[in-house]
Amino acid sequence: MSENQEPMTPEPEPAATAAPALETLTGYIPGFRPRFNMRELGGYVGAGGRRVKRGVFYRCSALGEATPEELELIRHLGIAEVLDLRSSTEADALPDPPVPGASYVRISGAMSADDREIDMSPARIYSLLFNPRRVDDDPEPNLMSQVAEIYTSLAFHNPAYQHMFDQIEAGQVPILFHCTVGKDRTGIAAMLILLALGVDDETILADYNLTNDYRADVIQEKLDARPILSRVGLVETAARFMEGVLPEFGARVLDEIKQEHGDYATFFLKEYGLTPERIERLRAIYLE
């Protein structure tokens, strides 16, 4: 180095994204750890400028992950039904503790074309590539796009979501629905509820992506565990997919619905038997 040259300094490491203050997040319910991903759907603006009623639709991670204090809070929410969207294998490994006064129903939110339950592990998701519940006429060219295609198929003709809408129509609320982390099967369930109530696409996707804020610490822990590999694009994407959500997957769900059916009204009619009249009834009940 010459006398006139400035000494080279290493590039600073990118700072980790700080987790937002939990109380500032939409749907926040005091007393729950952010990683539990517990929140409600109330307050969003739906059809006709009316807002989704609060204290009706709750979502979270597996109840077996809750602390005793969190379970006590859940028991005071007046839950009418707990809908467990996990496979039987997942539920057997970590059973839901009972919620007094609430019925418990388990229906897998991810199933293959021959009605086999999928536990959303990487290996089982990959198996869906060969036996998807919905086959796209325009197959994707690469693996990540294929996984996204399979992921979006969960929104279609899903027995768990059919049951969910049946219960909501019947007034079996408040309802608490969850899967393992409360992000994929749970995230799509929340998207469909908000969609039926007339919430706009941008807001629905923002709610879907909130998982990354609620679970920011967990995602960062996953990346920090392998600091070198986490800089590899595919590895980082996989880590974020396992502990959070990929925004492009949520957007793709809505895109595929419109591609398949043209509009949301036709989607709800064809996939879940919800006529325009029944959708309007849901909005009359759950918007204010």
pTM for this prediction = 0.85
Tell me if 235 is assigned to some domain.
yes
Tell me if 179 is assigned to some domain.
yes
Residue range(s) defining the domain that contains residue 231: 38-286
CATH code of 138's domain: 3.90.190.10
Distance of CA 208 to the CA centre of its chain: 6
Query: Do 82 and 176 meet the contact criterion of CB atoms below 8 Å apart?
Result: yes
| Tens-binned pLDDT, residue by residue, of the chain (288 aa) | 444 444 433 333 434 445 566 677 789 999 999 999 999 999 999 999 999 999 999 999 999 999 999 999 999 999 999 999 999 999 999 999 999 999 999 999 988 777 888 776 655 555 555 555 555 665 555 556 667 777 888 999 999 999 999 999 999 999 999 999 999 999 999 999 999 999 999 999 999 999 999 999 998 888 887 765 545 566 677 777 788 999 999 999 999 999 999 999 999 999 999 999 999 999 999 999
pLDDT, tens only, 99-142: 999 999 999 998 877 788 877 665 555 555 555 555 566 555 55
Tokens of 145: 């796009």
Tell me if 164 is assigned to some domain.
yes
Tell me if 3 is assigned to some domain.
no
Tell me if 17 is assigned to some domain.
no
Tell me if 216 is assigned to some domain.
yes
Tell me if 26 is assigned to some domain.
no
Instruction: Give me the residue label for tokens 């005091």.
Output: 30
Tell me if 150 is assigned to some domain.
yes
Domain total for the chain? 1
Taking the C-alpha atoms of 180, 113, 274 and 203 in order, what is their torsion angle to the nearest 10 degrees? 40
Q: Quick one: how many helices (H) and strands (E) in the chain?
A: 13, 5
- Got the DSSP string for 59-97? EES-GGGS-HHHHHHHTTTT-SEEEE-S-HHHHHHSPPP
Distances 227 to 13, 35, 224, 241, 270 between C-alpha atoms, Å: 11, 21, 5, 17, 47
